[in-house]
Amino acid sequence: MQKKPLKPDLSAKLGLVTVGRADTFVLSFISNCAAMMTALPYPTAAEFSEPVRSARALPLTTDHYRTPAPGRTQPYDPGKSSKVALPTMDGLCFEKVKHIAYLEASGNYTVLHFLDGRQILVCRTLREVELMLPVSAFVRIHRSHTIHLRHIKKYVKGKGGHVVLQNSATLTVSAGQKDIFLEALAQYFDHSE
């Protein structure tokens, strides 16, 4: 019984030599992997000594939280326009900011919920959509929710608590975002705690 050789184009691309034995194929593959690994850049010792910082580990103050998106020099400017351009699957959708009740993360997409019950799926992450909106009016209350402070009907205390919006939506405030939420609430309504 004769073994079929690998396709010539595949063998040439991978740099394999087939002698008819499986162990030769494996050894050749391993040597090619080792050659590729030596070509990769390794981090320096200084890079290893710096602590790894994830987005969740950073303090979420409004100054740090709302940095301009790539390609933008400034975050949302409330004096510029009362509408926002939302990239959807069909193109751009222009909506008034004051009609947005809250934002909900859905993977790499964001669902915008409006006061009248409409929903729009936007082709951006929650963080990217937040950068399109005014810092003073919107606050992240959970890993997957950002609310418009203008439309809060009620805040119920608890470990994190929850908010009830004017459109009757009830959303949980995470314990980690509670202090940031209460601070934003105080600033928005000009109260001191």
Consecutive 10-residue averages of pLDDT for the chain (193 residues): 54 48 47 47 46 38 44 48 90 94 96 96 95 92 96 93 94 94 91 47
Q: What share of the chain is helix, strand, coil (3-state, %, to 5)?
A: 30, 25, 45
Spans of all domains in the chain: 71-188
b/e burial code for range 109-136 (CB count within 10 A of at least 16 → b): bbbbbbbeeeeeebebebbebbbbbbbe
Alpha-carbon torsion, ordered 115, 118, 119, 120, to 10 deg: -110
Question: End-to-end distance of the chain based on CA atoms, in angstroms?
Answer: 85
Give the CATH architecture of domain 71-188. Beta Barrel (2.40)
CA distances from 34 to 23, 31, 154 (A): 16, 5, 61
In this structure, which amino acid lies at residue 109? Y
**What is the rounded distance in angstroms from the CA atom of residue 14 to the CA atom of residue 32?**
8
Tell me the residue ranges of DSSP E strands in 117-193. 119-122, 138-142, 145-148, 152-156, 162-165, 170-172
Which pLDDT value is given to residue 14?
A: 46
Q: What angle do CA 166, 133, 146 make, to 5 degrees?
A: 50
C-beta separation of 24 from 17 below 8 A: yes
Q: What is the pTM of this model?
A: 0.59
Instruction: Count Cβ atoms below 10 Å from residue 139 Cβ, excluding itself.
Output: 26
